[in-house]
Amino acid sequence: MKVVVNLRFYGGIKEIGGNKILLEDCGTKIFLDFGMSFGKRGKYFEEFLTPRSANGIGDFLTMGLIPDVKGIYREDLLIHFGKKPEETDIQGVLLSHAHADHANYISFLHKNIPVYCGQTCKYILEAIDEQSKRDIENEVLNFRERPIHRSNYRIPPIKRKFNTFRTGDKIKIDSLEIEPIHIDHSVPGAYGFIIHTSKGPIIYTGDLRMHGSHSEMTDDFIKVSEEVKPIAMITEGTRIDVKSSNESEANVYNKSSKEIIENKNLTIVDFNFKDVDRFRTVYKISKDLEKKLVISFKHACFLEKYHKDKKINSPDSKDENILLLKPKRLTGTYIDTDYTDQYIKKRLDYPNIITSEEITKKPNEYMVVLNFWYFNMLVDLKPYNGKYIHSLSEPFNEEMEISYKRMMNWINFFDLNFVQSHCSGHIFGGDLKKLIETVKPKLLFPIHTEKPGVFRKLSMKTKMVSEGKKYAI
């Protein structure tokens, strides 16, 4: 029998994220990630025009947000859409990290498909789950069978099967042996994979970088990848066209702290709380400048998971330098009965809760972590003439531009001083070219990139992939 390894790519080909890669070898079938593609979704949907969960899987399939592949989807969703339920022949999903464009559409997958991910990645998925409202697009850990009838509200959700690993572990899925190896990215618990197939090793990079706080982890991945002499490598290429700069976590610290020292009023910081390195940077600034760091109840869910993880050296949400900002709900008077969300209710007895009104009394004693979606709280925080540290990437698509403009209107309204201070989670073009030349795969598959053309200039044998087409190795 002729042995062939087949790869099929869905999403993440000429766009950033949405990776769903089907690998087939000797009858074993696994997915490498199963993420949401913001590009595909944003083409037809937006904030108030969303795919309907009341149509099962229908809106997602019809509009091409998920591929039409047999035997991979939840039976309840297929039936709800008037299709026949299907048995699955997929033996697992290897999840590289907890970002939505790699993880979220696991929500649609058949309940018998187990998910393999890092232990820390699972903790982050749990934190996301704790503080998010249930939605058909974020049912990664567990799901409720559709359609949901009002009378069935008490039926508990169905839990997915998760197998977690740490670096050094080896995973066996039928005929495949997989080595997950830690890499540095803007979320902890991120992995690249070496997949030993019947034809030889295939490398999948996931998302990674070499200029972050833990470049040694990416170095480990590159070293092993080179040693196994891979027959193919599937690589991310988000910033293949970006030249190296002095961007680093240390520079985020230096620039931000210098700006905050000069500020006599309130400091607002915005960053992604899934980025534990950034949290550490901001936390260190607050301690060094003797200010209290004010976070939200949502952030507390993440912090408590980080604190629980022995591999991450992170303070608890009740740390003496941390305060939780109480949001206004219902009556707007902060009484206990105003709060119905479980993630807030269970933390209302914490000793370190503060309100916006208390912060306005001594604004320069605090640094408030506030994401754009909660900017209406600026009305209470009154941060006039303060500083706003934007520790996120700059907008890279039309939708983000619109939000960015709106954000700037708020910044200008309160006469906030705007400071951009960020370090990307994705590898620079030059570093990626070096990585590829070191690992020397026989064949290269670039994905997760808006600039695939840049890869054509490499000396490596490179395959530009198309959606859904089969590539035999």
Residues making contact with Zn ion (CB under 5 A): 99, 207
Task: Answer for the pair 112, 79: CB distance below 8 angstroms, yes or no.
Answer: no
Closest of 309, 311, 249 to residue 281, by C-alpha: 249
Q: Which is nearer to Zn ion, 122 or 146 (CB)?
A: 122
The distance of closest approach from Cβ of residue 448 to Zn ion in the complex, given in angstroms and rounded to an integer, is 9
The distance of closest approach from Cβ of residue 473 to Zn ion in the complex, given in angstroms and rounded to an integer, is 25
Q: Which is nearer to Zn ion, 24 or 33 (CB)?
A: 33
The distance of closest approach from Cβ of residue 440 to Zn ion in the complex, given in angstroms and rounded to an integer, is 25
β-sheet bridge partners, residue 195 = 178, 202
414 CB neighbour count, 10 Å cutoff: 19
The distance of closest approach from Cβ of residue 124 to Zn ion in the complex, given in angstroms and rounded to an integer, is 11
Residue 391 tokens, joined: 């520790």
Q: Which is nearer to Zn ion, 183 or 268 (CB)?
A: 183
Residue 5 tokens, joined: 């390894």
DSSP assignment of 135-203:
-GGG-SSEEPPSS--GGGTTSPPEEPPEEEE-TT--EEETTEEEEEEE---SSSS-EEEEEEETTEEEE
The distance of closest approach from Cβ of residue 279 to Zn ion in the complex, given in angstroms and rounded to an integer, is 16
Q: Which is nearer to Zn ion, 59 or 207 (CB)?
A: 207
Q: Is the dihedral of CA 429, 442, 196, 13 positive or negative?
A: positive
**CA–CA separation, 461 and 455 (whole Å):** 10
The distance of closest approach from Cβ of residue 146 to Zn ion in the complex, given in angstroms and rounded to an integer, is 29
Q: Which is nearer to Zn ion, 183 or 324 (CB)?
A: 183
CA atoms within 13 A on the CB side of 140: 32
Q: Which is nearer to Zn ion, 80 or 97 (CB)?
A: 97
Closest of 187, 169, 31 to residue 108, by C-alpha: 31
